[in-house]
């Protein structure tokens, strides 16, 4: 924000689209890192930067980008996200006027949209805060737990069962890393394509506990190349979660619509409404759309 004042530069939607475009480039320029894409890890950064919100106290959330500071950057749940923060830092150097909170959340939007997901409404307005704004550890979900824990964590942010199940569909993307969470492997066969395969696979495959030295996780009996966390599998076991998971397995359009709404809400958690520049969120264009 101080940069904005210093240069008297008031960015427009077109300026944010330039940042979006640069994010899209950088996400793709990943060499042999994880299927050649930083998209999934950048999406996870946006989620972990926002998912610390507590509606009872109004603390946490995406406003202050406090994951820049220790100890939050070192919280167990954030292991590996330095990769995403470093990728984002390159862009921050080029567009110094954008706040980290806006940059990270816009990157989450770009990751979803560029990996063929739904359009996600987004608007700028987050400001860079201080270490004193940092949330305590333990606000993000623990993958070894069951339905009560998932509800505790997401109800605290202000989400309901339908939104919880929709948000979990992000696990169509990316993978677990043994040196980060201890878990291992991808959820789907196309970890850089946003699809509803996560739900389809949950119901269509037979899931068995993997026999290994790592934390308890499931593997698909047929190929043994996919994984589910205990918290993923719960979506097929809990009656209320299951209803939505089944609906998303059967209807990709419904999943896209509901994911977009819940994810847009997630990205705005903890940001006072008056800070938002626009009264309505924007739809940023994909790189492909700008070509035609
Ligand atoms: Fe997740 N997630 N997530 N997740 N997540 C992991 C990876 C990724 C949980 C645990 C893990 C969401 C919900 C949950 C993404 C997006 C989202 C990993 C592996 C664990 C563990 C980390 C590693 O080893 O690198 C749990 C538990 C929950 C829950 O209880 C609901 C949500 C809501 C999102 C979202 O984006 C909206 C993405 C993307 C990844 C892949 C990251 C990567 O590097 O690849």
Mutation probe of ligand 1 site: the residue of 39, 41, 44 with most atoms within 8 A of C-beta: 44
**pLDDT of 33 over the 90 cut:** yes
What's the average model confidence in pLDDT over 136-150? 98
What's the number of domains the chain is made of? 2
| pLDDT tier, 13 (very low <50, low <70, confident <90, very high otherwise) | very high
Residue 1 reports pLDDT greater than 80: no
Q: Which domain does 90 fall in, by range?
A: 2-140+260-291
- Ligand 1 pocket: which of 142, 176, 256 to mutate (most atoms <8 Å of CB)? 176
Share of the chain above pLDDT 70, in %: 98
Q: Are 60 and 193 in the same domain?
A: no
Calculate the alpha carbon distances from 185 to 3, 10, 268 in Å: 41, 43, 30
CA of residue 171 to ligand 1 center, whole Å: 6
3-class DSSP state of 57: coil
Closest residue to atom 35 of ligand 1, CA basis? 170
Q: Is the pLDDT of residue 5 over 70?
A: no
* 124 and 102 co-located in one domain: yes
Do both 223 and 244 map to the same domain? yes
Q: What is the mean pLDDT of residues 150-156?
A: 98
Regarding whether 110 and 9 lie in a shared domain, the answer is yes
Q: DSSP letter for 212, please.
A: S
Residues 134 and 7 in one domain: yes
Taking the C-alpha atoms of residue 51 and residue 158, their distance in angstroms, rounded to an integer, is 10
The reported pLDDT for the residue numbered 292 is: 73
Q: What is the pLDDT of residue 62?
A: 98
CATH number of residue 274's parent domain: 1.10.520.10
Average pLDDT score over residue span 77-100:
97
Together in a domain, 109 and 152? no
Based on the fold, state whether residues 131 and 275 are members of the same structural domain.
Answer: yes
Same domain, 131 and 190: no
68 and 129 share a domain?
Answer: yes
Residues 6 or more apart whose CB falls under 8 angstroms from that of 51 comprise: 139, 140, 141, 153, 157, 266, 269
Per residue in 180-213, pLDDT (tens digit) is: 999 999 999 999 999 999 999 999 999 999 999 9
Helix, strand, coil fractions of the chain, as percent rounded to 5: 50, 5, 45
Express each pLDDT in 112-130 by its tens digit. 999 999 999 999 999 999 9
Ligand 1 site, residue 174, Cβ cutoff 6 A: yes
Residues forming beta bridges with residue 59, ordered by sequence position: 54
- pLDDT given at position 3: 53
ipTM of the complex: 0.99
pLDDT tens digits, residue range 243-278?
Answer: 999 999 999 999 999 999 999 999 999 999 999 989
Q: What is d(CA 114, CA 231) in angstroms, rounded to the nearest whole number?
A: 27
Pair (111, 168) in one structural domain: no
Q: Are residues 48 and 124 in the same domain?
A: yes
Residues 133 and 235 grouped into a single domain: no
Report the chain's mean pLDDT, rounded to a whole number. Answer: 96
Q: Which CATH number does the domain housing residue 170 bear?
A: 1.10.420.10
Enzyme catalytic residues: 48, 187
How far apart (Å, rounded) are the C-alpha atoms in residues 204 and 82?
Answer: 35
Mean pLDDT for the stretch of residues 164-189: 98
Return the pLDDT at 213: 96
């Amino acid at each position: 924000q101080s940069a904005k004042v210093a240069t008297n530069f008031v960015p427009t939607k077109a300026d944010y689209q330039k940042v979006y475009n640069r994010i899209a480039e950088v996400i793709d320029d990943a060499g042999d890192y994880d299927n050649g894409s930083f998209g999934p890890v950048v999406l996870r950064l946006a989620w972990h930067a926002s998912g610390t919100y507590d509606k009872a106290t109004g603390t946490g959330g995406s406003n202050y980008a406090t994951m820049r500071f220790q100890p939050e950057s070192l919280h167990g749940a954030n292991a590996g996200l330095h990769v995403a923060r470093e990728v984002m830092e390159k862009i921050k150097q080029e567009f110094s006027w954008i706040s980290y909170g806006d940059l990270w959340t816009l990157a989450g939007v770009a990751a979803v949209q560029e990996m063929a997901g739904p359009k996600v409404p987004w608007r700028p307005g987050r400001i860079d805060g201080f270490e004193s704004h940092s949330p305590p550890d333990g606000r993000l979900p623990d993958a070894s737990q069951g339905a009560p824990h998932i509800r505790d964590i997401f109800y605290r942010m202000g989400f309901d069962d339908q939104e919880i199940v929709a948000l979990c569909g992000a696990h169509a993307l990316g993978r677990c890393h043994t040196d980060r969470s201890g878990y291992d492997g991808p959820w789907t066969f196309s970890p850089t394509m946003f699809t509803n395969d996560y739900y389809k696979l949950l119901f269509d495959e037979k899931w068995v506990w993997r026999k290994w030295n790592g934390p308890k996780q499931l593997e698909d009996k047929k190929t043994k190349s996919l994984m589910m966390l205990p918290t993923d599998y719960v979506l097929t076991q809990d009656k209320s979660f299951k209803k939505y998971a089944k609906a998303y397995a059967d209807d990709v359009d419904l999943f896209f619509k509901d994911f977009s709404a819940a994810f847009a809400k997630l990205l705005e958690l903890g940001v006072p409404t008056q800070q938002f520049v626009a009264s309505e969120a924007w739809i940023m264009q994909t790189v492909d759309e700008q070509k035609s």
